[in-house]
DNA sequence: TGGATTTGCTGAAACGATTAAGTTATCTTT
DNA sequence: AAAGATAACTTAATCGTTTCAGCAAATCCA
């Protein structure tokens, strides 16, 4: 009666109801022609037998795997794993799964993952961070019918790939401008890594450009020594801060390229008995949950992560449905400044806070 | 000549070489009987056409999908995403992929993901944290031939599921004992959530048990008021710490159930002008990267995350190969105490540090 | 009443691989 | 030289679905 070996199949259901497998399939796919009575009978048999369709077989036939490949250069990065999380939720709502690969910042691994995903017939690919080299991706896109690809936080110079970027230049500009407005005129920056893993990620040069532009706009000089290289981690932020504070005339304000480094910088400031923001102001970037609760609370830029994940899913699904009418997009998202105590002098805050 | 529609298939390769698809398949699967000359000819055709096998089709036939389903209650949790990362690397080494679902602490989502994964014919399932209810999992395991399941950080009372646990009782015992040895006798604890999401995760009761046992062993009384409930986040640690410090006679030392809360607690201590560890000592749990670099560096317990991920993969692969000879395991991992400055009084450290 | 249409269903060919069971041609062995 | 073994393939079934073309019976229309 039942299956001899593995799970029950559509055949078992069909036999059990005395219909053909085509009819069962019609019920599964909600074909209109099946009368309610038959439909109910088959549904019941499905329940009873505990039948679940084999999606592999379905995918083979329909040429849609209903899974999306995701390659992320480091899932441990809070920004990236939040994106992955959001992405997984959005995709879930569209009955799709996410096959996750962590490329560990290595292009060889990334390339290998990329092809593995294609062999698994993913419907689309999402690249987060610096996971796949431009050459590899470029070569793939030359193929007759590549799957939709969206890159997050990486500005490939390739047509045919969707890019979702955060306007880091603008972010850096706003952060710096905010510090200028607060009256600081010696403003330093803790950047991300300038070369090696992570440096290919979109933000780096943009950050510096925005920072420079804001200084220029304020008539302040750009000074090389005020830019210290970090590694996006807490420890890197500390080291960079130590270098900056050791300068002959250290900066009075710091813009860090992410919150983790900003927190490291704050810790070093505390260590050296400096008060924030009186002695030195700090602005971060990311708005991680901790940022609101540190001492002092951290001024930072909030990135619209949910929107980015949603946009990624939207673009992919649209292109899957009809590639011809949905050309690749390049969308820029803007982070919004969240002003907290780490960059606003108490008296200034009071002056701003009370209506004139 | 080439494909008319999608990707080239094994048929295209066969036609191109004037052999049957069986021969091409034999080359792909490294069958011994194919002579070197033929093999080379076919390999070359594969290169030239750019053929890549369709793993979906392969899986359908071989009944091995070469993917492992992972459901995690919150990928944003640093402990969990590190496990996922490690798992993805171990699986990669065995030519397997990871289909990731984030259940967002919701059992309904978890259940839905669970079945979706099964329909996708995953070879095995990894459950991380509190992602799938015991009922759901139990019901599945009654089926004729369930896939191997390993649960990380969740002690299901079910045979047939592999459990990888961290000996939280022992960890809490060691942490508390360590504080006792440092001379503190009023030791408080910041626990995880006692009910609701997260409370089903293995550690909770165990933590308290270990804490209690260590107090007993030292002849110290257990006091309800010294245990404050947190939520595993920085902010929760701060709140718990504020409650503890507001006590009539506050604790002199704190064990927090994770590092994030410990850092929150430290911040509150600083805010109240308390010195660590002179006024109050703090021990965390997790050994996140930041812990080594905070002010002061945080004493904590390091969890063998890589080992756990490796064990998960090992168990799964072994059971896939031969289920009969590999009964479900329940393995306990132990965290190791990493002593840093947040719990050791300077003079004590000096006394310990200099040889007698 | 008789042809056209609709309703409800079935048969069989895909999808792209693997694989057991055949089929030659060539090489040993006696 | 006949029988058997081996090497180098091919044929065709199969995995579990979807889907299209077909088909009988019922219903409709004039």
Give A142-179 pLDDT, tens digit per residue: 998 999 999 999 999 999 999 999 999 999 999 999 99
Q: Are strands B253-256 and B281-283 parallel, antiparallel or unpaired?
A: parallel
Q: Report which residue is nearest nucleotide D12 when distances run from CA to C1'.
A: B22
Inter-chain Cβ pairs, chain A and chain B, closer than 8 A: 146
Q: Is A52 on the interface with B (CB under 8 A)?
A: yes
| Model pLDDT, residue A79 | 86
Q: What is the mean pLDDT of residues B98-102?
A: 97
Residue A22 clears pLDDT 60, i.e. is over it? yes
Task: Give the span between the Cα atoms of A227 and B214, in whole angstroms.
Answer: 50
Q: Say what the pLDDT of residue A351 is.
A: 47
pTM value is: 0.90
Residues A47-86 pLDDT 10s: 999 999 999 999 999 999 999 999 999 998 888 999 999 9
In terms of Cβ atoms closer than 10 Å to its own Cβ (0-12, 13-18, 19+), residue A5 is exposed
Residues 6 or more apart whose Cβ sits within 8 Å of residue B275: B269
- pLDDT band, residue A205 (cuts 50/70/90): confident
Average pLDDT, chain A: 92
Per-residue confidence (pLDDT) for residue B322, from 0 to 100: 87
pLDDT of residue A3: 40
Q: What are the pLDDT digits (tens) for A210-260?
A: 999 999 999 999 999 999 999 888 999 999 999 999 999 999 999 999 999
Q: Which of B120, B136, B142 to mutate: most A Cβ within 10 Å?
A: B120
Q: What is the pLDDT of residue B2?
A: 41
Given a cut of 60, whether residue B308 has pLDDT beyond it is yes
pLDDT digits (tens, 9 = 90+) for B113-155: 999 999 999 999 999 998 999 999 999 999 989 999 999 999 9
Per-residue pLDDT, B350 = 46
Residue in B closest to A95 by C-alpha: B116
Query: Mean pLDDT, to the nearest integer, of B28-39?
Result: 94
| Length of chain A in terms of residues written | 356
* Joined tokens for residue A141: 């896109």
- CB contact under 8 Å between B118 and A271, yes or no, is no
State phi, psi for A7 to the nearest 5 degrees. -80, 160
B50 touches strand C (CB under 7 A): no
pLDDT band for position B295 (50/70/90)? confident
How much is the pLDDT for A348? Answer: 52
The mean-pLDDT minimum among A200-214, A259-273, B53-67 falls in A200-214
**A112 burial via Cβ count (<10 Å: 0-12, 13-18, 19+):** middle
User: Which protein residue lies nearest to nucleotide D15, measured between its Cα and the C1' atom?
Assistant: B61
pLDDT for A355 beyond 90: no
Structure tokens at A45: 């048999």
Interval B276-296 mean pLDDT: 92
Q: What confidence tier does A2 reach under pLDDT thresholds 50, 70, 90?
A: very low
Put the strands of the sheet holding A330-333 in their side by side order: A330-333, A162-166, A149-152, A124-128, A67-72, A97-102, B97-102, B67-72, B124-128, B149-152, B162-166, B330-333
Mean pLDDT score of chain B: 92
Query: What's the gap between Cα A199 and its chain centre?
Result: 16
Do the beta carbons of residue A196 and residue A204 sit within 8 Å? no
On whether the CB atoms of residues A147 and A122 are closer than 8 A, the answer is: yes
A30: left (phi over 0), alpha (psi -120 to 50) or beta: left
Average pLDDT score over residue span A187-199: 78
Mean pLDDT over residues B312-333, rounded?
A: 93
Put simply, whether A75 touches B (Cβ < 8 Å) is: yes
Q: Report CB contact under 8 Å: B52, A115.
A: yes
Those nucleotides of strand C lying less than 7 Å from any protein Cβ are 7-12, 14-21
Nearest nucleotide (CA of A14 to C1'): C10
């Amino acid at each position: 009666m039942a299956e001899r070996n593995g799970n029950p199949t559509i055949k078992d259901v069909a036999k059990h109801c005395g219909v053909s497998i085509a009819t069962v399939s019609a019920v599964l796919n909600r074909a209109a022609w099946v009368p309610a009575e038959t439909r109910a009978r088959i549904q019941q048999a499905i329940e009873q037998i505990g039948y679940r369709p084999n999606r592999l077989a379905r995918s083979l036939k329909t040429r849609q795997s209903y899974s999306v490949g995701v390659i992320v250069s480091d899932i441990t990065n809070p920004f990236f794993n939040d994106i992955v999380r959001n992405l997984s939720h959005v995709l879930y709502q569209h009955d799709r799964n996410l096959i996750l690969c962590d490329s560990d910042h290595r292009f060889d691994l990334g390339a290998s993952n990329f092809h593995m995903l294609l062999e698994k017939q993913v419907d689309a690919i999402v690249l987060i961070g610096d996971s796949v080299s431009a050459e590899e991706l470029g070569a793939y896109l030359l193929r007759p019918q590549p799957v939709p690809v969206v890159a997050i936080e990486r500005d490939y110079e390739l047509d045919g790939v969707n890019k979702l970027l955060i306007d880091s230049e603008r972010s850096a500009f706003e952060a710096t401008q905010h510090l200028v407005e607060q009256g600081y005129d010696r403003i330093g920056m803790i950047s991300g890594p300038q070369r090696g893993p992570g440096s290919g990620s979109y933000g780096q040069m943009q950050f510096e450009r925005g920072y420079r532009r804001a200084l220029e706009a304020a008539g302040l000089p750009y000074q090389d020594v005020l830019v210290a290289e970090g590694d996006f981690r807490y420890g890197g932020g500390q080291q960079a801060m130590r270098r900056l504070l050791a300068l002959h005339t250290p900066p009075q304000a710091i813009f860090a390229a992410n919150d983790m480094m900003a927190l490291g910088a704050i810790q070093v400031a505390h260590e050296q008995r400096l008060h924030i923001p009186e002695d030195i102001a700090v602005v971060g970037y990311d708005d991680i949950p901790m940022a609101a609760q540190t001492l002092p609370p951290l001024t930072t830029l909030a990135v619209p992560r949910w929107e980015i994940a949603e946009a990624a899913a939207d673009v992919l699904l649209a292109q899957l449905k009809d590639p011809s009418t949905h050309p690749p997009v390049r969308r820029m998202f803007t982070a919004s400044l969240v002003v907290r105590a780490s960059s606003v002098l108490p008296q200034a805050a009071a002056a701003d806070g009370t209506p004139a």
